[in-house]
Amino acid sequence: MPMRVLVVTNFAPDASAPQRGRWIEDQVEAIRRMGIEVELFVFPPGKSHYLPAILRLRRLLRRKSFALVHAHYGLVGWCARLAGAEPLLVSFHGTDVRHPIVGWLSRRLAPRVTRVAAVSRALFEAESGRSGLPAVHGAAVLPCGADLDRFQPRSRAEARRRLGLDPDGRYLLFPANPERPEKRHDLAAELADASGAQLLTGGSIDPERMPAWVNAADAIVVTSDYEGFGLTCIESLACGVPVLSTPVGIAPYALTGLEHTHCAPFDLGAWAEAARALFAHPGLRLESRDRASLLSAMRMAERTAIAYRAVLDGE
């Protein structure tokens, strides 16, 4: 009889953030391909939705039986615990650890669940003056991973034609929502000005169109103060597109030894020089897909399935 798992999340997409939660959907689909039955319990973000979610989740758990409940995000983990989920695995994604208020709640939750997971090892350590998760016995690192079927190298000229961009333009893609202060859109804008490029911004891009935007860019720019994992970095490498990143999340590992990438604290002069060097090689593609495959959605789903079995076996 296959394992039955309930995945709980409030990473629900909306008009302003259509890509929100796509990484969790990709992981769930990969886990299902391994023969594990997964039911999704999704509710909207925002504090007014937590109490109703607890009540609905409690009713669901009374009505149906699951071998395991897997909650994504700290406050969602609290909802699952208060609803009586057991055993309970909680994956922390970044802001839920680094936020001055939510981070405190996440650290309080960690010792109160069956298994703690984070999308990167960095979340168990302090970063930029923000505390990490406590050292809890049996903690796991469970990223969601990149969908390599969607993110593949494509012709830059064709991607720009599809998106109505200048075929000879210089484009840097800031893939995050510019309204999120920790993503530091201000630094990305400075870089574009200093290097003579146009800055393209994400946040409201449909997830099905994101591979085209990645392939259209000369480079992806990650100027974040912190990242839980930094999935965009892996998606870019899957497309062979250069990445300029602060040393946050998975970037120091993912970019090590790769030519035409830059991973260092933000320094406008050094970053602008790195960007201009890329503009001198229009259409450049990295030999980086093998690196991305190490962190694919399927590989990370396999790790997650191992964690599920470890929880059920009491390991």
Question: In CATH, what number is assigned to the domain containing residue 216?
Answer: 3.40.50.2000
* Section 7-27 average pLDDT: 81
Using CA atoms, how far residue 95 sits from 73, 85, 186, 228, 313, in Å, is 9, 23, 19, 7, 31
Q: Are residues 274 and 305 in the same domain?
A: no
Tell me which of 73-77, 173-177, 206-210 is least confident. 206-210
**pLDDT of 288 strictly over 80:** yes
Q: Are residues 167 and 224 in the same domain?
A: yes
Asked whether residue 71 falls in the same domain as residue 42, the answer is: yes
Give the number of domains in the chain.
2
The reported pTM is 0.85
Domain range for 134 is 4-145+296-312
Same domain, 101 and 19: yes
Q: How confident is the model at residue 15 (pLDDT cuts 50, 70, 90)?
A: low
Q: Looking at the predicted structure, is the pLDDT value of residue 20 above 80? A: no
Give the model confidence (pLDDT) of 54-98 as tens digits: 999 999 999 999 999 999 999 999 999 999 999 999 999 988 999
Same domain, 117 and 181: no
Place 229 in a pLDDT band, splitting at 50, 70 and 90: confident
Would you say residue 134 lies in a domain? Answer: yes
In three-state form (DSSP H/G/I as H, E/B as E, the rest C), the secondary structure along 36-104 is CEEEEEECCCCHHHHHHHHHHHHHHHHHCCCCEEEEECHHHHHHHHHCCCCCEEEEECCHHHHCCCHHH
Answer for the pair 312, 87: CB distance below 8 angstroms, yes or no.
Answer: yes
